[in-house]
Chain A
Amino acid sequence: MRGAGRHLAAGESHRGANMIERKERKPYWRHTKWQMLASTVPFLVVIIVLPLYAESLNTEKFLGFPLGYFLSAHGIALIAILTVASFVNRQDAVDHWHGAHEDI
């Protein structure tokens, strides 16, 4: 039965293929919760801890910038973009795996 569910989830043109199977909802939500934690917790730890060490990092340089400032400004911006990008990619994979994705 699970195999059939996967097959339907992978089928593109089947009407109603987007409807997730009832018993698949719990594993889907568990998977989604882990993905949420994986996307937010490391990011929050970095943005809280990194600026606190900026002063000692400022003695190093990168691209000419004092490293602490560079990581707190450019670095965190890059980390935020990568975090959202990886979340979009991974969560979409989770949706397809459990057949919870949209049919458009």
Chain B
Amino acid sequence: MSLMPHSRLVNPRLGTYFGIFVSALSGLVLLLIIFEQLGAPDAALRWVMLIGPLLLYTAIAASVFTKDPLDFFVVGRRVPAGYTGLGIASSAMGATGIVAMTGVFFMIGFDALFIVVGGLAGFVLMAVMLAPFLRKFGAFTVPSYLGRRFNSVAVRILCAALVAVPMLLLLAAELRIGSFVAAWLVGQPQSLMVVLLVFCIVLGLVFGGMRSFAWSSSAQAIAAILALIVPVAIVAVMVTNFPLPQLTQGPLLRELVRNEAIQGLPIVDASSFAFMLPGDGMLPVAKRFTAPFGSVGPAAFVVAMLTVAAGVASAPWLLPRVTMTPGVYETRKALGWATVFFGLVMLTVASISVFMRDYLMDIVAVAAPTELPDWLRSLTELGLAQIDTRSTRLAFASFSFWRDAVFLSLPIAAGLPSVFVYFAAAGAVAAALVAAGAVVGALGNVIAEDVINGLSWEPLPSGSRVWVARIALIVVAILGGLIALLAPTDPLLLLLTCLVLTGSTLFSVLVLSIWWKRMNSFGAIAGLSSGFGVALVAMLAGSSIGLAGPLAGLLGIPAGALGAMLASLATPAPNRRILELVREMRIPGGEVIYDREMRLFRLKNRDR
């Protein structure tokens, strides 16, 4: 039973277990470095670096097999704040936030900050406006929550249908970028790697559902953060003598900016609503690093930032994580940790791109086309960079880089052992697994709970409930894999589109459902559909209304809020039972509302 004290207890050995994991991972990396120096074949090192960590994650996931629904869907509500925050932050960034963002920072510098600030603001809004109340409510999925809050099956099913769209887009984005890095790592076709990732995601979830995922994704997130931070810290020691690049590269950056001015890199002034993100492919450096608003105009910057914030705050693949903590207070703290981890990773990503620009500057400022350094030659041989050698003098415009390979280029440029490059790639694969797994778990639960059993408030019996969820998540993973194979689209664009759709559909409805008790089911239906519809139309109309796709939130989010408010005011107020439910949800103390409902169902069935 959910109220038994033992289920509330946090496992005191968690730190030990993850300490063992970190030791195993570092041992693997160190061993591979030794083997590399001893002359082991390169292909073997690459395969071990890819498969070794995957085996560790799968072992963690398989060790927590579970049949109990409370364990399967919400880990028995006993994931402490730090691990929840780690999971939320790394599911929000995924591999797109690490790999593609490094490239975007490298190309457009300051303008890439809209994603960073938007993500941070998303966590603040989630912590203050949504998470504590959803934790008190305790529903396993966002559509379940909305359905119960408005006591309407229509809201539940409509919400399930609408959130499936952005979640599948995000799943495809993460699978594409994860398989791109994995394919580069082991030299196999990308489609084979999509299949491998889908297989790993299913193995990471199928044994114990969210319980397996919570712990294996913590390990993946730790691996991703280590793989991101360790190489760049080593480079920072080489360049600035101190292993904290986020804080110590200031003088380097100022020198870089001065040299960029000397080299005549243009200061671009974008129009207010211009929105030109670097796409997926070979691109030159676009503008000076710290000069704002060259690729993304000021108005577009603010709009895109707020859209990202709304999308992250109401993300249906992140919100179920906040219901897995031991209490409301822990949930609030978890979002604090998420902000810390997200900020740390994003500042590290920015510092990687500054180092890369600095290495490039060394060549542009000094070398002639005939005397290029080895690292740049090996990058061009790997197909990660291109050099235009037709002109006699090298300039920034002579170099093009593959956007998603800038992240992998830093250890190569710094001349670190190849294993560090492979480690960075394995970290990116881990980050892709965290985000893709979060989506597969959340969407699988939505389909099992709110679509297959969507017409009934009473859940299926425990055994079949868990098995239906297992089958649903396998189907979702395979579907995501098919989309990733069939629709080759830029992952960053997919991520932004996903956040626009999520923010427009859910943000206003979720916030109003807590903070405005007059809102009723008609308002929810109108808010969900008008937000989604307007955002979709604005994105499809795109160029004809002069608004880039990722800015469609400018119309979608207000449309959602307006639809929800007008339809609620035009229809009768909710009844006393619902008002009492909203009042109860606002108080942190007392029994979790959803758990009490499940307990009453169990009692009713026992009497029968």
Contact = CB atoms under 8 A, between A and B. Distances in A.
Interface string B128-162: 11001000000000000000000000000000000
B253 A66 contact: yes
Contacts of B251: 64
A47 interface: yes
Contact of B254 (A43, A66, A78): A66
A68 B290 contact: yes
A92 B329 contact: yes
A40 B130 CA distance: 12
User: Which size bracket describes the interface of B in this complex?
Assistant: 35 or more
B470 interface: no
Contacts of B116: 73, 76-77
B343 interface: yes
B200 interface: no
B253 A65 contact: yes
A41 B55 CA distance: 46
A68 B124 contact: no
A87 B127 CA distance: 8
Interface string B281-303: 00000000111110000100110
Given A19-B589, A39-B128, A64-B250, A104 B326 contact: yes
Interface centre among A68, A73, A101, by most chain B C-beta atoms within 10 angstroms, is: A73
Name B's interface SS. Answer: helix
A76 B332 CA distance: 19
A54 B332 contact: no
Contacts of B590: 18-19, 102
B603 interface: no
B301 A51 contact: yes
Contacts of B329: 88, 92, 95, 101-102
B250 A83 contact: no
B223 to A, nearest CB: 23
B572 to A, nearest CB: 23
Interface in A66-85: 66, 68-70, 72-74, 76-78, 80-81, 83-85
Interface stretch (B177-185, B315-323, B334-342, B407-415): B334-342
Contacts of B289: 69
Contact of A80 (B129, B249, B306, B343): B343
Given A19-B589, A63-B247, A69 B290 contact: yes
A64 B121 CA distance: 26
Contact of B120 (A63, A76, A92, A103): A76
Interface stretch (B388-396, B497-505, B580-588): B580-588
Nearest to A17: B589
A36 B588 contact: no
B301 A84 contact: no
A85 B250 CA distance: 27
Contacts of A33: 515
28 contacts: A20-B589, A25-B586, A25-B587, A28-B587, A29-B586, A39-B128, A40-B128, A43-B121, A51-B117, A54-B110, A61-B250, A63-B248, A64-B253, A65-B250, A66-B253, A69-B110, A72-B110, A72-B113, A73-B113, A74-B247, A76-B116, A77-B346, A77-B347, A78-B343, A80-B339, A80-B343, A84-B332, A84-B336
Interface of B: 8, 110, 113, 116-117, 120-121, 123-125, 127-129, 132, 246-254, 257, 289-293, 298, 301-302, 305-306, 326-329, 332-333, 335-336, 339-340, 343, 346-347, 350, 515, 583, 586-590
Interface of A: 18-20, 25, 28-29, 32-33, 36, 39-40, 43-44, 47-48, 51-52, 54-55, 58, 61-66, 68-70, 72-74, 76-78, 80-81, 83-85, 87-88, 91-92, 95, 99-104
Q: Which 5 A-B pairs have the closest CB atoms?
A: A64-B250, A77-B343, A18-B589, A64-B251, A65-B250
